[in-house]
Amino acid sequence: MTTAEIVNLYNGYVMPTYGRSLAIVRGKGARCWDADGREYLDFGGGVAVNILGHSHPAIVRALKQQAPQLIHCSNLYYTEAQGLLAKKLVELVGADGKCFFGNSGAEANEALYKLARKFGHDEGRFEVLTMEGSFHGRTLAGIAATGQEKVKKGFEPMPAGFKYAPFNNLDAVRAAVGPQTAAILVEPVQGESGIRPATPEFLRGLRQLCDERNLLLMFDEVQCGNGRTGKFFGFQSIAPDVTPDAISMAKGIGGGFPIGAIWTRAARKVKTADGEIPFCDILGPGTHASTFGGTPLACAVALAVIRTVEEKKLMAKAAARGKRLTRGLKALRAKFPCIKEVRGLGLMLGIELDREVKDVVAKCAAAGLLVIPAGTHTFRFVPPLTISNADADAALAIVEKVLGQS
């Protein structure tokens, strides 16, 4: 089919929730092709998902090996792949704990809200404090948790139990904690609102505040996790000495295959009617579920993705390529005053302009580079961790060309 024919199908049959552009038919590594045969260097990475690039052999192999064996059997039964993936994620966090599996970032975060509710329940605490400019997904609780008005508009009333404080402002967060607060949820690097890393002092201060006030510290690592910042989790690149009580994951963890997960901490103890139990055990049988959560197929793929990240040393590569891109972008900032700021860590980089980025994003695509807006005035690079120096330089050259025309 041509692009025009595919667009026609969408106009007739797909709900118009996205502003879409190209019709993509094929991908390989950091490149993809549209229905009219045009080639693109993909620095959007399927919105920070394709950490191994398009159709990586390790993912294809895992799908081919697992699919004939067992695709789905429900969570009424044990599977080796889910057990192994949970163990791997616990090891990557570096602190004892347990995991729960779902299918998306919003669903992973839903599990965090339920954990906060259950944790605070007997004391009448239920509020989750999140940050201004945050993004936590598009379910009702997700938009309630998100500290941006635009996602809530038209969907009020919002579910109760969410409060907001300014990001990277510890005093304001401290002041916002009230008698009903049960947890603080934060993205170690804010993604959707413009690629803004938390400061190490902020994350350390939140840990201390949560300990003082008996709150849960929860990190949304859906976008900044998966090795993108140079360590497996974003917080490990910022304040590795901080251990949260819970972490949500999705996006890159399956390298394009849908899977979400949470990790919960064992060392955190919770008082219950039956005495003290580890926090990671507070959701018992019948309290939470997901039909598709952690299928053997999804877990086999995620295990293959993580194994590849480790074997090919892609976290160190992400850090190195990120440095190269940052250096190049800062050189462009010196040349083009329309670039206000270059922010981010590793291969999660934001380029803030003095104007809306829509036009630049479209011009980059026309010039063969896919990038994605993050808010109105910033566009981001969230490419595969596998990109080469040549890919990085090619992306910089296209941005330079486009800004030169603007």
Ligand X SMILES: *Cc1c(COP(=O)(O)O)cnc(C)c1O
Residue 47 CB, shortest distance to ligand X, in Å, is 7
Which burial class, exposed, middle or buried, applies to 276 when counting CB atoms under 10 A from its CB (0-12, 13-18, 19+)?
exposed
Residues that contact ligand X, how many (by CB under 6 A): 15
Cβ distance to ligand X smaller for residue 130 or 386: 130
110 binds ligand X (CB under 6 A): no
104 binds ligand X (CB under 6 A): yes
Cβ distance to ligand X smaller for residue 97 or 191: 191
Residue written as token pair 């083009």: 336
CA distance 279 to 239: 22
Beta carbons within 8 Å of 190's beta carbon, 6+ residues apart: 131, 133, 134, 135, 167, 196, 197, 198
Q: What is the DSSP string of 31-69?
A: EEEETT--EEEESSHHHHT-TT-BT-HHHHHHHHHHTTT
Q: Are 52 and 384 in contact (CB under 8 A)?
A: yes
Residue 109 CB, shortest distance to ligand X, in Å, is 6
The rounded Cα 304 to chain-centroid distance in angstroms is 19
Q: Which residue's beta carbon is nearest to the bound ligand X?
A: 105
- Among positions 92, 93, 106, 347, the unique one binding ligand X when judged by CB under 6 A: 106
Q: Where are any strands of DSSP class E within 81-172?
A: 97-102, 127-131, 162-165
250 binds ligand X (CB under 6 A): yes
Cβ distance to ligand X smaller for residue 220 or 245: 220
Residue 190 CB, shortest distance to ligand X, in Å, is 8
Bridge partners, 353 (sequence order): 339
Tell me which stretch binds ligand X (CB under 6 A): 64-72, 121-129, 217-225, 380-388: 217-225
Cβ distance to ligand X smaller for residue 192 or 245: 192
- Among positions 182, 222, 261, 396, the unique one binding ligand X when judged by CB under 6 A: 222
CA atoms within 13 A on the CB side of 351: 32
228 binds ligand X (CB under 6 A): no
Angular region, 273: left φ>0, alpha ψ -120 to 50, beta rest: alpha
350 binds ligand X (CB under 6 A): no
Window 180 to 199, contacts with ligand X (CB under 6 A): 187, 191-192
Residue 227 CB, shortest distance to ligand X, in Å, is 15
DSSP label of 376: S
Residue 105 CB, shortest distance to ligand X, in Å, is 2
34 binds ligand X (CB under 6 A): no
- Among positions 46, 97, 137, 296, the unique one binding ligand X when judged by CB under 6 A: 137
Please, what is the end-to-end C-alpha distance for the chain in angstroms? 33
The three-state secondary structure class of 298 is: helix
Residue 113 CB, shortest distance to ligand X, in Å, is 12
Tell me which stretch binds ligand X (CB under 6 A): 83-91, 103-111, 193-201, 388-396: 103-111
The three-state secondary structure class of 17 is: coil
- Which residues contact ligand X (rule: CB under 6 A)? 104-106, 109, 135-137, 187, 191-192, 220, 222-223, 250-251
